[in-house]
């Protein structure tokens, strides 16, 4: 893989660099409308940006935000992201008001050595995500025209490398393309998990749906020593064991698949022994802790129970390698956050090589105030990290000579 460090070695002072970043941060709604509620992805983009800035490159950042459906949408403007990035870098980041139009052209023209500018949300242009290769190519050509054919491309948006999109793949075949430091770090961490990791190797999976995670379960199960399952998905597994799950999240169509996974050789899957149930899906609902095989009718399981937290925690404490994806409960509501907090803290406290994957899991770490530096790696790419672990080829990595 050609990296940004190779590019830096060749000297980039005065050279224009088009950088694809993943700055798709959550924005508040309601009273904090438009404010960035978690700037983790902006922070993750800093190492590559700072290195290019220090080397005197003229950096043009392209990124997406939200789901603007191929049309300009003020609610998905990257302007607040440019402001936050500027604060973190301690330098002004000029923000264009279009993707490849007049504003983008004059913004790029105005760049001096070591300056950073940001193009408007690339998904304001429908060609970015078009299934038609010719349409994507046309946008990529315009991006290249904008930065000049002697520019270099740096791919640092790990969260989008699984996407066949103009600013991810098509530009990378038109300019000398290099992996940024974030992409390199992500690939190194995830490769450890699919290679020959130190044992015991424990994977903790949660989140909402089994169907989202089935491919990764099937890919990892043969490699791991233990697979701990919590979150909404545990109820389909509990149902597969013949237990009633009340009104908990249940994917009926997946019950047979879960049965098959539970019967797989090795008996590696561990399910919750107790769960926190609620009278309704609300922070102020009545709650109880019950055995996992005894969820009454009308009640909803929204977290793993304290006994399960202890079992899962001792498993990850004894691990040498841990991968965690998916919250153990509805951590967004404090009565159902203890499971995620307990397991996440145990992973953070362990001496193992620890990787957190999944957008909501990474957000949970920050929301619950767990020290991020206690994990070996927190992936910024939910879908991309899962597809990597599933063993799928990722088009945005393949173009980097991966
Ligand atoms: P990630 O983004 O980390 O991969 P997912 O997107 O799969 O995680 O799932 C995250 C969501 O799962 C969270 O919003 C959380 O509230 C929800 N969740 C966790 N446990 C449950 C549960 N028992 N019932 C319903 N939703 C749950
Ligand atoms: Mg998610």
3-class state of residue 155 by DSSP: strand
Judge if the beta carbon of residue 232 lies within 6 A of ligand 1. yes
Is the pLDDT at 359 greater than 90? The verdict is no
How many whole angstroms from 26 Cα to the centroid of ligand 2? 12
Percentage of residues in the chain with pLDDT exceeding 70?
A: 99
Judge if the beta carbon of residue 207 lies within 6 A of ligand 1. yes
Nearest ligand, CA 325: 1
Phi, psi of 55 (to 5 degrees): -85, 0
**Phi-psi sector, 299: left (phi>0), alpha (psi -120 to 50), beta:** beta
pLDDT of residue 1: 87
Which atom of ligand 1 is the closest one to the Cα of 235?
23
Is the pLDDT at 331 greater than 80? The verdict is yes
Give the closest residue (by CA) to ligand 1 atom 21: 232
DSSP output for 288-345: EEEETT-PPTT-EEEEE-HHHHHHHHHHHHT-SEEEEES-SS-TTSGGG-HHHHHHHH
Judge if the beta carbon of residue 326 lies within 6 A of ligand 1. yes
Segment 219-240 mean pLDDT: 97
3-class state of residue 57 by DSSP: coil
Q: What is the pLDDT of residues 144-196, one digit of tens each?
A: 999 999 999 999 999 999 999 999 999 999 999 999 999 999 999 999 999 99
Q: Give 157: exposed, middle or buried? Use CB within 10 Å, 0-12, 13-18, 19+.
A: buried
How many whole angstroms from 180 Cα to the centroid of ligand 2? 24
User: Could you give the residue numbers annotated as active site?
Assistant: 41, 209, 359, 383
Comparing CA positions, the residue from 212, 213, 219, 328 lying closest to residue 271 is: 328
Comparing CA positions, the residue from 150, 186, 161 lying closest to residue 18 is: 150
How many whole angstroms from 23 Cα to the centroid of ligand 1? 22
pLDDT of residue 337: 98
Is the pLDDT at 201 greater than 90? The verdict is yes
Judge if the beta carbon of residue 383 lies within 6 A of ligand 1. no
Give the closest residue (by CA) to ligand 1 atom 9: 207
Judge if the beta carbon of residue 197 lies within 6 A of ligand 1. no
pLDDT of residue 105: 98
Rounded CA gap, 128 and 25, in Å?
Answer: 19
pTM assigned to the model: 0.90
Is the pLDDT at 14 greater than 90? The verdict is yes
Residues 193-208 as b/e (b if ≥16 CB within 10 A, e otherwise) read beeebeebbbbbbbbb
Which atom of ligand 1 is the closest one to the Cα of 363?
3
How many whole angstroms from 52 Cα to the centroid of ligand 2? 31
How many whole angstroms from 232 Cα to the centroid of ligand 1? 6
pLDDT of residue 358: 87
Give the closest residue (by CA) to ligand 1 atom 19: 329
Segment 54-76 mean pLDDT: 96
Is the pLDDT at 296 greater than 80? The verdict is yes
Segment 271-275 mean pLDDT: 98
Rounded CA gap, 68 and 121, in Å?
Answer: 9
Residue 401 — pLDDT band, cuts 50, 70, 90? confident
Segment 105-132 mean pLDDT: 98
Quote the tokens at residue 43: 């922070």
- Does a cis peptide bond (omega within 30 degrees of 0) precede residue 200? yes
Which residues make Cβ contacts (< 8 Å) with residue 387, sequence separation at least 6? 162, 394
How many whole angstroms from 176 Cα to the centroid of ligand 2? 33
Ligand 2 (ion): residues with CB under 5 Å are 359-360
Share the mean pLDDT of the chain: 96
Judge contact between 65 and 25, C-beta under 8 A: yes
Judge if the beta carbon of residue 159 lies within 6 A of ligand 1. no
Residue 37 — pLDDT band, cuts 50, 70, 90? confident
Judge if the beta carbon of residue 212 lies within 6 A of ligand 1. yes
Judge if the beta carbon of residue 361 lies within 6 A of ligand 1. yes
Give the closest residue (by CA) to ligand 1 atom 15: 330
pLDDT of residue 92: 96
């Amino acid at each position: 893989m050609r990296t940004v460090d190779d590019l830096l070695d060749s000297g980039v002072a005065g050279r224009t660099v088009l950088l694809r970043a993943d700055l798709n941060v959550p924005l508040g709604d309601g009273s904090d409308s438009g404010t960035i509620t978690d700037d983790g992805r902006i922070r993750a983009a800093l190492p590559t940006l700072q290195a290019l800035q220090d080397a005197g490159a003229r950096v043009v950042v392209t990124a997406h935000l939200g789901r603007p459906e191929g049309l300009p949408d003020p609610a998905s403007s990257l302007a607040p992201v440019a402001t936050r990035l500027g604060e973190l870098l301690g330098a002004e980041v000029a923000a264009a008001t279009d993707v490849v139009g007049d504003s983008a052209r004059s913004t790029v023209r105005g760049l001096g050595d070591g300056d950073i500018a940001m193009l408007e949300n690339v998904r304001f242009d429908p060609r970015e995500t078009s299934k038609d290769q010719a349409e994507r190519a046309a946008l990529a050509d315009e991006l290249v025209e904008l930065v000049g054919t002697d520019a270099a491309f740096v791919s640092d948006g790990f969260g989008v490398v699984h996407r066949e999109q103009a600013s991810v793949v098509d530009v990378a075949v038109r300019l000398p393309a290099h992996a940024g430091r974030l992409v390199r770090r992500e690939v190194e961490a995830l490769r450890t998990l699919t290679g020959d990791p130190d044992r015991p190797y424990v994977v903790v999976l949660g989140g909402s749906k089994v169907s989202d995670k089935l491919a990764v379960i099937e890919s990892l199960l043969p490699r791991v020593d233990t697979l701990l399952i919590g979150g909404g998905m545990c109820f389909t597994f509990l149902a597969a064991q013949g237990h009633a799950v009340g009104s908990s999240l249940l994917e009926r169509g997946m019950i047979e698949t879960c049965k098959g996974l539970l019967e797989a050789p090795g008996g590696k899957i561990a399910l919750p022994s107790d769960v926190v149930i609620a009278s309704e899906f609300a922070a102020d609902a009545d709650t109880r802790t019950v055995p996992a095989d005894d969820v009454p009718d009308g009640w909803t399981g929204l977290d793993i129970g304290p006994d399960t937290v202890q079992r899962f925690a001792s498993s990850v404490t004894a691990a040498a390698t841990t991968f965690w994806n998916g919250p153990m409960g509805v951590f967004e509501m404090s009565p159902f956050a203890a499971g995620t907090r307990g397991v996440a803290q145990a992973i953070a406290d362990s001496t193992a090589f620890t990787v957190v994957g999944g957008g909501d899991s990474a957000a949970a770490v920050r929301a619950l105030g767990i020290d991020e530096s206690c994990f070996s790696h927190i992936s910024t790419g939910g879908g991309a990290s899962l597809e990597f672990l599933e063993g799928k080829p990722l088009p945005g990595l393949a173009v980097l000579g991966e």
